[in-house]
Amino acid sequence: MTFNPAKMMDQIDLRRFGGHGGRLGIRFHARDAEWVELAMPYAEDMIGDEDSGVIASGPIIAMMDIATSLAVWNRIATFVPHATVDLRIDYLRPARPGRTVIGRAECLRVARSISFTRGIAHDGDIDDPVAHVAATFMVPSGSYPKVTP
Amino acid sequence: MRLPPYATLLGAQLEYAADGTPVMRMPFAEAVLGRPGFLQGGAISGLLEVAAIAALRHALAEEGGGRIKPINVTVDFMRGGRDHDTLAAGIITRLGNRVANVEAVAWQDDRARPIASARMNYLIERA
Domain limits, chain A:
5-138
Decide if A63 and B42 are in contact by the 8 Å CB cutoff. Answer: yes
Q: What is the pLDDT of residue B45?
A: 97
pLDDT value of position A1: 37
Asked if the ipTM is above 0.90, the reply is: yes
pLDDT, tens only, A82-131: 999 999 999 999 999 999 999 999 999 999 999 999 999 999 999 999 99
Average pLDDT value for residue range A39-50: 94
Q: How far is CA A113 from CA A73, A133, A139, B7, B101, in A?
A: 13, 20, 5, 34, 32
Partner residue facing A91 (CB), from B6, B45, B71: B71
CB A55 within 8 A of CB A42: yes
Q: In the sheet where B13-16 sits, what is the strand order?
A: A27-31, A36-40, A101-110, A114-122, A131-138, A83-91, B66-77, B116-126, B99-107, B86-95, B22-26, B13-16
Q: Which residue does chain A place closest to B115, by CA atoms?
A: A85
pLDDT at B91: 97
Whole-prediction pTM: 0.92
Q: Is A50 in the B-facing interface, judged by CB distances under 8 Å?
A: yes
CATH class of the structural domain B5-126: alpha beta
Sign of the C-alpha dihedral computed for residues B44, B50, B56 and B58 taken in this order = negative
pLDDT at A13 > cutoff 90 = no
Output the CA angle A23-A122-A85, nearest 5 degrees.
Answer: 65
Compute the nearest-CA separation of B108 from chain A (Å): 18
Q: CA–CA separation, B54 vs B37, rounded Å?
A: 28
Dihedral sign for Cα A132, A65, B114, B29, please: positive
**pLDDT above 50 (res A136):** yes
Question: What are the phi and psi torsion angles at A68 (to 5°)?
Answer: -70, -35
Of B45, B125, B60, which is closest to residue B92 (Cα–Cα)? B60
Cβ–Cβ contact B94 with A under 8 A:
no
| pLDDT < 70: residue spans in chain B | none
Query: Cα separation of B87 and B101, whole Å?
Result: 20
Q: Which residues pair with B39 in a beta bridge?
A: B33
Task: Find, in chain B, the residue whose alpha carbon is nearest to that of A51.
Answer: B67
Cβ distance B40 to A89 less than 8 Å, yes or no, reads no
Superfamily of domain A5-138 in the CATH hierarchy: Hotdog Thioesterase (3.10.129.10)
DSSP structure string for A81-122: --EEEEEEEEE-SPPPTTPPEEEEEEEEEE-SSEEEEEEEEE
Residues on chain B touching A57 (C-beta within 8 angstroms): 49, 70, 73
CA distance A91 to chain B (A): 5
Selection from B85, B13, B82 nearest residue B51 by Cα: B13
> So what's the pLDDT on residue B1?
85
